[in-house]
Structure 1
Amino acid sequence: MSLTSSPKAVSSYTGLPEGWQIRISKSHNTEYFYNPTTQESTWNAPEGSNEDLLNSYVAKGLHNPAEVRVNHLLLKHKDSRRPASWKSESITRTKEEAIEELKEWERKIKSGEVKLSDVATTESDCSSHSKGGDLGFFGRRQMQPSFEKASFALQVGEFSPIVETDSGVHLIERTG
């Protein structure tokens, strides 16, 4: 069987084929579907969507939330605004070292070797480590701008790329 004839994976959260996102049109104030990899957009559900799951997801409003809930893994570095944590009184790694370490955790998380919440419990420099990196629900303007932007851009079950803030570098998973 060739790769082109195999069906694409469908998100168990949104019902959309892999790579597709739900966005809100500013001019029409309604949902549309966008694939950032191919830069395709459509008003109709893309081919291969699970329409029952997609309709349920849209009906719940999860694609345009007033609040989101995330787990995150924070790695601080010596130039972080507070280069100390529950693990270390003085963090000396460089930003580049923190990014490289986070890239390795990202690879393991995305491959399914480990869960972000489990890694956060032992490796995160945030006080949320004791809750698996869970920050609870938060709304707009409650987090640093780059963290907020990344969190609200995710759909439930998705992971962010590495996000830099004054606190350090993060990997974010939207959970609600």
Structure 2
Amino acid sequence: MADQIDTGLPPNWEVRHSQSKNLPYYFNSVEKVSRWEPPAGTDTEKLKIYMATYHSNAVPSRAPAVAQADDRAGKIRCAHLLVKHRDSRRPSSWRENTITRSKEEAFEIIKAHRQRIVSGDVSLGELALTESDCSSARKRGDLGYFGKGDMQKEFEDAAFALEVGQLSDVVDTASGLHLIERLD
């Protein structure tokens, strides 16, 4: 019971970890249902604190080093911070069940996030933990390695144009507004 209070999730819900996607998800132990977004009735502020505390460790190794090197050919690794708006493809997230902000409001939010990152006040990864509307927030926005054709075209074009360590301008996709940082 204490876990439910700490997580902010409604009764019978718990946070579990997907081995295949290496991401946390939400599971109802009574109804035996799972979902990527928090269930209705979640205290999102408590959940943000819980997730930042217990699900923000560095990304564990996914495979032996030799296999990883082969898998990385032609791929890059990026982290991102996503701010969704009501016209996004799926206007909900782990932070909010229903996102109602306008695209203009989302743009102002992400511009402020970018300014904080550029000024050195906070890193993209630190900010993603609590402010990104993507489930990758739990991994500090780290999307892992991906190649051409794996992401939405606007995202891919911006990501592949970055140098390692470089931060993108705001990138607009069907998913919402992104800041992208090239990691490898």
Q: TM-score range by the shorter chain?
A: 0.5 to 0.7
Deviation at 1:157, TM superposition (A): 0.4
Deviation at 1:94, TM superposition (A): 0.4
Residue 100 of structure 1 is matched in structure 2 by 108
Secondary structure of 2:77's aligned partner: strand
Cα RMSD (Å) of the superposition? 0.8
Deviation at 1:120, TM superposition (A): 0.3
Alignment of 1:4-153 (within 5 A): 66-153=74-161
2 CA distance for matches of 1:74 and 1:135?
A: 12
Secondary structure of 2:144's aligned partner: strand
The structure with more radius of gyration: 1
Q: Deviations over 1:126-160 (max 9, x none)?
A: 00000000000000000000000000000000011
Structure 1, gaps ≥5 residues long: 1-64
1:164 partnered with 2:168: no
Aligned letter for 2:104? E
Higher helix share: 2
Residue 154 of structure 1 is matched in structure 2 by 162
Q: Deviations over 1:100-132 (max 9, x none)?
A: 000001001001000000000000000000000
Q: Deviations over 1:27-65 (max 9, x none)?
A: xxxxxxxxxxxxxxxxxxxxxxxxxxxxxxxxxxxxxx7
Aligned letter for 2:120? G
2 CA distance for matches of 1:85 and 1:105?
A: 18
- Runs of 4+ in structure 1 off by over 3 angstroms are none
Deviation at 1:66, TM superposition (A): 1.2
Residue 52 of structure 1 is matched in structure 2 by none
Residue 42 of structure 2 is matched in structure 1 by none
Structure 2, gaps ≥5 residues long: 1-72
Aligned letter for 2:88? S
1 CA distance for matches of 2:142 and 2:81?
A: 9
Secondary structure of 1:150's aligned partner: helix
